[in-house]
Amino acid sequence: MTGYGPVRKATARRAPRRTDATLVHGPWERSALRTTLLDCLEGLESRRLLPADHLAVLCVGSVARGWANDSSDYDFNIVAHGPWHGPSVRTIPVPLRPASVPAVVEYVDGRRWEIKYWVDVQVDQMLAKVAWDRFEEGASTARALTDAEELFLERLATCLTLSGTSWVRSRRQELGETAFRAFVTARSLAEADSSIEDALGQLAADDVDSAVLSARKAFGHVVDALLESHGAYGSPIPKWRARRLREVRPSQLPYQEYWAVETMRDFDPRAPDAWVTRTVQRCRDLSIEVEIH
């Protein structure tokens, strides 16, 4: 790996984490949304979609982040002691026990609701996968979690809690004590490195079109790594990358520069190799500034 592989692993360290993370994010304080989301809790119960043994009901995704629009789905994660035995539209396979997450879709007043049912012991297992000892033993370059698992953990940090405040507070503290941030940051850096190597190899082989695509992909990964190093997770859903960058405002990458590369503003079709070279170099420069902690 170029640039940061072994060095990044050597400099990774345990960092103090905030354990008083707020349970309120996004526009929750607006009374209209608060009422709407509390109505959702009642709606889940009235539709028999709320397990009797539930520990927490979380509103997640764009609504929780304050990024929603009028057509946005309502996404919910429900955590219970035992598996969901009600109807489900689909099951999401996960490398856990139980080995699947049931999901239900409902349409309420024209809005799509998606409810995913997790079991408390699955959360234990996901947190164990990103323990510091696993990171320090050399698992940092491996993909520790599937997209579904990573999405659950990153949304745990940004959810709106409709029920189970104490459960969420406790789990957030546990998450903050893991190497989750280090794992996902190292993963994105490794993927950026791989795409850089692809771009350079393709350029050398005169496969310029492929090199352009690989360089653009590398830039996305290194931006994700930069954001993840600040605790702004979400790389499995790249459509929110610009939103995340606006929120974090990292000094290493001004938004205007990010957007110029993301939209390929200075790309000249008469000299695509020049754009590849510039973008690859910017990726390398940024990767050096990403801190794994």
Structure-token match 């409902």, residue found: 106
CATH of the domain at 174: 3.30.460.10
- Retrieve residue 67's tokens: 């990024």
Least confident among 15-29, 65-79, 229-243: 15-29
Between CA 58 and CA 158 the distance in angstroms is 10
More confident residue, 21 or 149: 149
Give the pLDDT of residue 8. Answer: 39
Q: Stretch 168-178: mean pLDDT, rounded? A: 98
Least confident among 28-37, 185-194, 228-237, 267-276: 28-37
The helix/strand/coil state of 59 is: strand
Query: Do residue 153 and residue 53 come from a single domain?
Result: yes
pLDDT reading at 166 higher than 80: yes
Average pLDDT of the chain?
89
Least confident among 139-143, 144-148, 195-199: 139-143
How many C-beta neighbours within 10 Å does residue 177 have? 15
Give the pLDDT of residue 186. Answer: 95
In a domain, residue 216? The reply is: yes
Give the pLDDT of residue 206. Answer: 98
More confident residue, 118 or 11: 118
Give the pLDDT of residue 143. Answer: 80
Amino acid at 169: R
Alpha-carbon distances, residue 270 vs 157, 267, 273 (angstroms): 45, 9, 9
The helix/strand/coil state of 279 is: helix
Give the pLDDT of residue 256. Answer: 98
- Retrieve residue 73's tokens: 């789905």
55-100 pLDDT tens trace: 999 999 999 999 998 889 999 999 999 999 998 889 999 999 999 9
Instruction: Please report which residue ranges of the chain form alpha helices under DSSP H.
Output: 5-11, 31-46, 62-65, 120-129, 132-136, 147-156, 165-176, 180-204, 208-229, 241-248, 255-262, 272-289
Query: Do residue 133 and residue 204 come from a single domain?
Result: no
Burial level of 42, CB count in 10 A (0-12/13-18/19+)? exposed
Q: Which of 141, 159, 178 is the last residue of a domain?
A: 178
Q: Which of 159, 178, 197 is the last residue of a domain?
A: 178
In a domain, residue 38? The reply is: yes
The helix/strand/coil state of 81 is: coil
Phi first, then psi: what are they for 23, rounded to 5°? -90, 5
Percent of the chain exceeding pLDDT 70 equals 87
**C-alpha torsion angle, residues 149, 152, 156, 161 (rounded to 10):** -150
pLDDT reading at 140 higher than 90: no
Angle at 243 between CA 241 and CA 244, to 5 degrees: 65
More confident residue, 221 or 136: 221
Domain range spanning residue 62? 9-13+21-178
Of all helices (H) and strands (E), which one includes residue 104?
strand 100-108
Query: Do residue 151 and residue 254 come from a single domain?
Result: no
In a domain, residue 117? The reply is: yes
Q: Which of 178, 202, 222 is the last residue of a domain?
A: 178
Give the pLDDT of residue 26. Answer: 41
The helix/strand/coil state of 240 is: helix
Query: Do residue 186 and residue 281 come from a single domain?
Result: yes
Query: Do residue 25 and residue 143 come from a single domain?
Result: yes
Query: Do residue 165 and residue 78 come from a single domain?
Result: yes
Domains: count for the chain: 2
Query: Do residue 228 and residue 163 come from a single domain?
Result: no
pLDDT reading at 136 higher than 80: yes
Query: Do residue 185 and residue 172 come from a single domain?
Result: no
Query: Do residue 35 and residue 168 come from a single domain?
Result: yes
Query: Do residue 44 and residue 189 come from a single domain?
Result: no
